[in-house]
Structure 1
Amino acid sequence: MNDLTKNGTTLHFDENTLSFAVEKDQEMWKWSKDYEPKIVCEDGEVFFRDAKKVSHEKYECGTGAGIRSRYEGFVKDGSQIPYAFETNVWVEEATGHVYFEWIPVCEEGLCVQKVLWPGEMEFEEAKDSWYTLLNQEQGMLIPNTWKEELKPVIFDGFFGTAGGYMPWFGQVRDRAGYIAVCVTPWNAGYQACHPAEGPYTHVSVRFEPSLGKMDYRRVMRYTFLSDCDYNDLCKVYRKYVNEQGRLRTLEEKAARNGSVNDLIGCAFVHKGIKTQVQPNSDFYDPENPEKNNHLTTFAQREKEIRHLHDLGVKKLYLHLDGWAQPGYDNQHPDYLPACKEAGGWEGMKSLADAMHECGYMFGIHDQYRDYYLAAPSFDEEYACRLTDGTIPQHQRWAGGPQSYLCATQAPYYVKRNFQELKKNGIDLDGAYLDVFTCNEGDECDNPHHRMTRRECYEYRCACFEYLLSQGILPSSEEVSDWAVPSLVFCHYAPYDFMLRKPGEPKQGIPVPLYNLVYHDCVIEPWMMDKVSEEEDYMLYALLNGGAPYLIRDAAYPNFDGAFDDGIELKLEEDIRRSKVVSDLHEKVAKCEMVRHEMVGGNPMVQRTTFSDGTQVTVDFEKQTYEIQ
């Protein structure tokens, strides 16, 4: 056993099992007994212990001390291969943070799919006070005794997606806890296991290749706290991103684009113009062909907007789907001109002008990832190409067969299309660039525009930044850590259960992990559905100090949380409820969410506190709320 201590943190390493343990403030955290460090390859698993030559050394440097290990001499098909890697586990002297680094040395001989290291922590006690935090969408807390099994995490828990809004996870046991931050998140994700009734929850990280290679050093940073809860772990992460200059608040964004202030307090309306589901789309309904296509004119939408104004809605943002000739989710990125049969450019301009006449804000849906084969400018040369030379395709959405546009090209298309909108007099306040903050980054191995996943996120941000330069507030489907500096608002940032059929059991306690870090950085509209007498999503909107959806017409029925079930309310009642949420949002949008708590330990009664002193308490059993 090798031990070393820095800044009150002791690192223990067992050379026989290759396992680590960390001791701080008399609390010991150690890897699960069943865990073995390994690499998953195309043709099987390779364990660290399979290396014929292994060396370990302790070291000290100017910033800390650690244990460096080297693994080489692996055998494949009876012959030794040159594949080799190192691990470096060290304690930072200034902070006590523990860093786990996996470093490729020679990649010849193995085709790696993922590295499963460092391991999951031993976390076996059947106690409510032992819980795990996952950043699946807005956030969830899973007590070790939670009765529901955790189903596979969406996007396989890949960081930078809806399955991992932020690249960290954490665990707390009787107020001692840790937060594990992925410092290199672009090709990484997490996996978690919680069986029905527990009595344990395991969570760990994995590292995946970039363009077929592991290529660079992969880093996890663990921070151990002796007296904490999930609020404290979120604030550790907020401090981390602030130190990196990535905590860009709405106050800062408003200094650059004053219309950010106009968006705060708006009720959101989501409507469409043209839907055209192609026969070669998975969504096409051959049994009911009349359901595949429909059209609403710009003039009709203008009439609806003026009606809302007459009913007293003061602040409103319209998100308009399907406004272009091809129809919703068709022929992107060649999404021009304005739909002719709906009124063309003239009709669209009249709607935009009417919005501004009413004092409202106007924005459009757009898309620069899905690359439709039916797009006039489609060229396979610019589609994302995998390292094996193949080009992924599917036909899920309304436009039928598609590949993925290499994000190196996306900023050019954004500039082209939005300049055309401007030429036709369409004055936009906002624009929604679909899926960018929900789906994983893409990679492209075309030598003419080779792109890593990390670069893909940078190109997506470049699209947002172009919109900002034109005075247009950028939005995308959900939220993601990498997009915070450039994103102003989103379609939604829901709890995971909100996208499943109402009434399904929750896989954990919904907690606003993302908002405890970023509430004052991004404007989040919230679903307002009263799905039953026992569940009203308005309470979550209030608890999170978010913006309300006054009307949300789904682009696809019974998809993405838009279900036909639920209690239908009169428009006047929807307006009344939205005003309550809008008024609160106008007050706290630029405030940090400083604390979330379960009042009296009861997860059915929750309270949030904002930096201006505002407190919101909701009772999910009584279906009541109180704002103080």
Structure 2
Amino acid sequence: MKVAQNDVTILFDEETLWFTIEKESILWTWQSNYVPHMVCEEGEILFNQARNISHKEYQTGLGAGILSSYEGFEKDGVVYDYSFQTFVWAEASTGNVYFEWIPVKEEGLHIKKLFWPGDMNFEEKKDSWYTLLTHQQGMLVPNTWETELSPVVFDGFFGTAGGYMPWFGQVKDRAGYIAISLTPWNAGYHAEHPAGGPYTHVGVWYEPSLGKMDYRRVLRYTFVSDCDYNDLCKIYRAYVNEQGNLRTLEEKATRNASVNDLIGCAFVHKGIKTVVQPNSDFFDAENPDKNNHLTTFAQREKEIRELHAEGVEKLYMHLDGWAEPGYDNQHPDYTPACEAAGGWEGMKSLADAMHECGYLFGIHDQYRDYYLAAATYDENFACMLADGTIPGHQRWAGGPQTFLCGTQAPYYVKRNFQKIEENGIKLDCAYLDVFTCNEGDECDNPMHRMTRKDCYDYRCKCFEYLLSKGILTSSEEVSDWAVPSLVFCHYAPYDFMMKKPGSAKEAIPVPLYNLVYHDCVIQPWMMEKVSEEEDYMLYALLNGGAPYLIRDAAYPNTDGAFDDGISLKLEEDIRRSKVVSTLHEKVGKCEMVKHEILDGNWKHQRTTFSNGTTVTVDFEKQTYEISE
């Protein structure tokens, strides 16, 4: 079958169920071993196992395509009364091609994962053929790349560290496409690249919502005949803007003027109290002294005044473990302020000292991990899966936990932050942990039923409450859905920064996220001089970000915090931080308009910002140049 719409042609093979898209004589077809299929509790089900299959051309007022129906599936002699449709169509006004999977009758089969549409055939061993993955800040995988791509974190779930943005793309000799998930809440991507190539495969997967596929799943392809990764990022930026979700820092500053105060700050990450419970996976039974430590508010105040005396002009401090009974313990019942460290009075004195120095002060908090040891813990408000089970673990310091249903989080945020305010503590910022790193939760408890999409909305309600109180919002990373309500983050690193220093890079690090959102979210960057051959300061400059002056890890060798590296004196850290802060003052609210790999050498890179500032780095010579 063949359907043409302006310069786009959709070709469909009724035998293989494959689609091929042709645009300006360039063909994009699925890889040869792909078979449309679903992984179900009943086993793997192929689309062509449907007892009744029909296809027809379908013209609408918007475009033309092919509508297919699949009814009744037979496997191993068992017939399942399940049916769905697919609709693949080209939009007349834009040339965009939409792949829609539509559940019709959900009986008999229980889908665990749906793999459709297929991965594109992408087999040429050429460095001008490359794949773009939105794993953290961004990855560009040439088909010739020598290092194998390992499994993406969070299984490539969109809305997590594995997929900051719900899209992927590929370019072959300057012809490319971007595939955008318009329904990303229960979706992600899978990717494969063997050592040395000669191919990279990437495709989408969908999971059920509360046990059912429940709603139409849509993946939009935009095909471009002459492009690079910059163009694809700008296509996505335009899409986000069309949805009303491109909320810039300039806009956010009109609501909360202190956004301007955060730009150009050096970031300091410190803690007060750590208590690792014996039933935590992090508990060190052989070295019990390592499980607990305490630093008073007065000591932190002294350190802040010393940094001020050293000439640090603008600074933001993120404070961990400020409440009883210590970091990552008994959330969401996380008060009062740590008594042994000085209590509410000591914490207020620290906050006041920060403000005397002209600094900004914020705290770590948590409204997802639901600790069984919390005073008000009630299993009825933990997330319950569709099968009636309540997931949990005991990885973090506080020991056994479930997950707080997101419907409850805004109430707890209001309760706890009112208590802080009642004790006279003025917060400038607050960090709600894991919200923008981990996937949204689902809950099938009829008292507070919640889909993943609902969960993201409830997380945003938490951010919006803080903004209404004049408190700037932060979370762990920078998921796409949070951009309208998020001012800054803990970090938005490249994937390799989360691995042990010296590990082989699995792709060329490119700032896909910043090419879309640089002027929307403030991102502090790791500043470690890892070795004489690797200095993370260069990435901070290239990305026009804020610097970490001090970053004390909550857990050793976790979340990119490693003991390896070259130790620098405080004076040198301050000097380096000042260089990055000065640049951030100039470009923090600017769009990153272009990123370049110079001379065909990925170790030579340049970024250009909308005010004309360029940053050129040479990762081989460990040098940088800033020009205006």
TM-score of the pair, normalised by structure 1: 0.99
Q: Determine the structure 2 residue equivalent to 1:429.
A: 428
Measured against aligned partners, the alpha-carbon deviations of 1:112-141 in whole angstroms (never above 9, x if no partner) come to 001100000000000000000000000000
Residues 512-539 of structure 1 show CA distances to partners (whole Å, capped at 9, x for unaligned) of 0000000000000000000000000000
Letter in 2 for 1:132: T
Match of 2:371 in 1: 372
Post-superposition offset of 1:240: 0.3
Q: Deviations over 1:434-478 (max 9, x none)?
A: 000000000000000000000000000000000000000010000
Q: Distance in 1 between matches of 2:42 and 2:492?
A: 38
Q: Show structure 2 runs of 5+ residues with no match.
A: none
Per-residue CA distance 1:571-617 (angstroms, 9 max, x = gap): 00000000000000010011000000011111000000000000000
SS of the equivalent of 2:484 reads coil
Query: Equivalent residue of 2:448, what SS?
Result: coil
Residue segments in structure 1 that go unaligned for 5+ positions in a row: none
Amino acid at match of 1:388: D
Instruction: Give the match for residue 550 of structure 2.
Output: 551
The residue identity in structure 2 corresponding to 1:529 is E
Aligned twin of 1:165? 164
Whether 1:100 aligns to 2:116 is no
Distance in 2 (alpha carbons) for counterparts of 1:423 and 1:297: 21
Per the alignment, residue 456 of structure 1 pairs with 455
How do residues 71-470 of structure 1 correspond to structure 2 at under 5 angstroms?
71-76=70-75, 78-470=77-469
1:78 is displaced (CA, Å) by 2.3
Supply the distance in 2 between the matched residues of 1:159 and 1:588 (Cα, whole angstroms). 28
Contact 1:99–1:221 (8 Å) recurs in 2:
yes
Whole-angstrom CA distance in 2 between matches of 1:431 and 1:596: 31
Aligned counterparts of 1:198 and 1:449: Cα–Cα separation in 2 = 48
Read off the aligned partner of 1:626 and give its amino acid letter: E
> What is the correspondence of 1:464-483 to structure 2 with a 5 Å cutoff?
464-483=463-482
Q: Do structure 1's residue 10 and structure 2's residue 9 form an aligned pair?
A: yes
Q: How far has the Cα of 1:222 moved from its partner?
A: 0.2
Question: How many residue pairs were aligned?
Answer: 627
Q: Which residue of 1 aligns with 2:615?
A: 616
Q: Which contiguous aligned blocks of 4+ residues in structure 1 show a shift greater than 4 angstroms?
A: none
The offset of 1:296, in angstroms, is 0.1
> Letter of the aligned partner of 2:336 in structure 1?
P
Structure 1 counterpart of 2:66? 67
- AA aligned opposite 2:96: H
1:206-241 Cα distance to aligned partner (Å, 9 max, x none): 110000000000000000000000000000000000
* 1:605 counterpart letter in structure 2: H
CA distance in 1, matches of 2:221, 2:19: 12
Q: Distance in 2 between matches of 1:26 and 1:326?
A: 65
Q: What SS is found at the alignment partner of 1:220?
A: strand
Cα-to-partner distance string for 1:252-294 (whole Å, 9 max, x where unaligned): 0000000000000000000000000000000000000000000
2:524 and 2:163 map into 1 onto residues whose CA distance is 19
Counterpart secondary structure, 1:398: coil
Equivalent residue letter for 1:131: Y
Cα shift readout 1:42-76 (whole Å, capped 9, x = no counterpart):
13100001011100000111110010000012124
Give, as a single letter, the amino acid of the residue that structure 2 aligns with 1:50: Q
Q: Does the 8 Å contact 1:317/1:362 carry over to 2?
A: yes
Contact 1:320 1:363 in 2 (8 A): yes
Report the counterpart of residue 499 of structure 2 in structure 1. 500
Alpha-carbon distance in structure 2 between the residues aligned to 1:66 and 1:206: 22
Question: Aligned to 1:186, what secondary structure does the other structure show?
Answer: helix
Kindly provide the CA deviation profile for residues 403-441 of structure 1, in whole angstroms up to 9, marking residues without a partner as x: 000000000000000000000011000000000000000
In the alignment, which residue of structure 1 is the partner of 2:53? 54
Give the Cα separation in 2 of the matches to 1:287 and 1:273.
23
Within 2, Cα distance between the matches of 1:268 and 1:579? 11
Task: Tell me if structure 2 keeps the 8 A contact 1:277–1:283.
Answer: yes
Q: Letter of the aligned partner of 2:431 in structure 1?
A: Y
Name the aligned partner's letter for residue 482 of structure 1. W
Match in the other structure for 1:528: 527
Output the CA distance in 1 between the equivalents of 2:80 and 2:373. 47
Which position in structure 1 is the counterpart of 2:574? Answer: 575
Give the Cα–Cα distance (whole angstroms) in 2 for the partners of residues 597 and 235 of structure 1: 14
Give the Cα separation in 2 of the matches to 1:321 and 1:7: 57
SS in 2 for 1:596: strand
For 2:111 and 2:226, how far apart are their aligned partners in 1? 39
Residue 4 of structure 1 and its aligned partner are, at CA, apart by 1.1
In the alignment, the residues of structure 1 paired with residue 515 and residue 76 of structure 2 have an alpha-carbon distance, to the nearest angstrom, of 51
Q: Deviation digits for residues 493-550 of structure 1, max 9, x if unmatched?
A: 0000000000000000000000000000000000000000000000000000000000
CA distance in 1, matches of 2:123, 2:134: 21
Aligned AA for 1:613? Answer: G
* Alpha-carbon distance between aligned partners in 2 of 1:96 and 1:480, rounded to the nearest angstrom: 28
Mapped partners of 1:261, 1:475: distance in 2? 15
SS at match of 1:479: coil
- How far apart in 2 are the matches of 1:12 and 1:623? 50
C-alpha separation in 1, matches of 2:56 and 2:134: 35
* Counterpart AA for 1:616: V
| 1:515 and 2:514 aligned | yes
1:7 and 1:95 in contact (8 A); partners too: no
Structure 2 counterpart SS, 1:418? helix
Q: Secondary structure at the match of 1:485?
A: helix
Aligned residue identity for 1:33:
S
Identity of aligned residues (%): 77
Structure 2 residue identity aligned to 1:207: Y
**Distance in 2 between the 1:402 and 1:79 partners?**
41
Q: By how many angstroms is 1:363 displaced?
A: 0.1
Q: Which residue of structure 2 aligns with residue 599 of structure 1?
A: 598
Q: TM-score, normalised by structure 2?
A: 0.99
- Give the Cα separation in 2 of the matches to 1:81 and 1:435: 40
User: What is the Cα deviation at residue 393 of structure 1?
Assistant: 1.2
- Aligned-partner residue type, residue 337 of structure 1: P
Please give the secondary structure, in 2, of the residue aligned with 1:81. strand
Contact 1:59–1:68 (CA under 8 A) maintained in structure 2? yes
| Distance in 1 separating the partners of 2:76 and 2:597 | 56
Cα distance in 2, alignment partners of residues 94 and 393 from structure 1: 48
Equivalents in 1 of 2:533, 2:42: separation in Å? 50
Q: Distance in 1 between matches of 2:430 and 2:87?
A: 44
Are 2:45 and 2:75, in contact at CA under 8 Å, matched by a contact in 1?
Answer: no
1:77 is displaced (CA, Å) by 5.1
Q: Using the alignment, how far apart are the partners of 2:81 and 2:470 within structure 1?
A: 54
For residues 138 and 523 of structure 1, the distance between their equivalents in structure 2, rounded to whole angstroms, comes to 13
For 1:61 and 1:202, how far apart are their aligned partners in 2? 32
